[in-house]
Amino acid sequence: MKEIKDKDLPKNPIEAQGMLIKATYRKFGIDVLPIIRESCKKQGRALGLKVRKKLADNKLSTVAKAFSKSYDPKDVKIIQISDELFQIQGNKCPFGLENTSRELCEAVMEIDAEYFRTAVDNSIELKIFKTVAEGDEYCDTIYKLKQNKSND
């Protein structure tokens, strides 16, 4: 049996989840992405339901501020928080997906997308402009509340 070195151990549960996701993706390729996406979506919904119960309101700005407390400010920079838009940029993937693939990033990001859809509003859209999973220098993501088309 291969000895596990301390430097190869995950630092937290999210890194451990990322290790499992990457190993599964390496073994099964793009065919496993729908399974990863669906599992991550369920995780996001569960987290969104929890946070929705804890907060005074379900405005995007309120949920985004609560979400922001879950990561290290040296790794993630808040670009904008409002009731319509939340934009963040990160230089490190908490799941360790650096240099894997955009498709894997998008599948795993269903956690956050569903978190915001559940905690705020089902019309929240996630846009990933840049991702370290694809080799970009940093991630750039926006969670945006879709405007009601009938009011335009």
Q: pLDDT digit string (tens) for 76-125?
A: 999 999 999 999 999 999 999 999 999 999 999 999 999 999 999 999 99
User: Using one digit for the tens of pLDDT, what is the confidence trace for 18-75?
Assistant: 999 999 999 999 999 999 999 999 999 999 999 999 999 999 999 999 999 888 889 9
Q: At what angle do helices 33-54 and 60-68 cross, to 10 degrees?
A: 110
Q: If residue 102 lies in a helix (H) or strand (E), which one and from where to where? A: helix 102-108
129-140 average pLDDT score:
97
3-state class of 130 per DSSP?
strand
Q: Are 94 and 15 in contact (CB under 8 A)?
A: yes
Confidence of residue 1 (pLDDT cuts 50, 70, 90): low
The answer to whether the CB of 107 falls within 8 A of the CB of 97 is no
**Dihedral angle computed from the Cα positions of residues 43, 49, 53 and 54, in that order, rounded to the nearest 10 degrees:** 30
CATH of domain 12-146: 3.30.1380.20
Give the span between the Cα atoms of 80 and 1, in whole angstroms.
Answer: 49
In degrees, to the nearest 5, what angle opens at C-alpha 98 toward C-alphas 40 and 68?
60
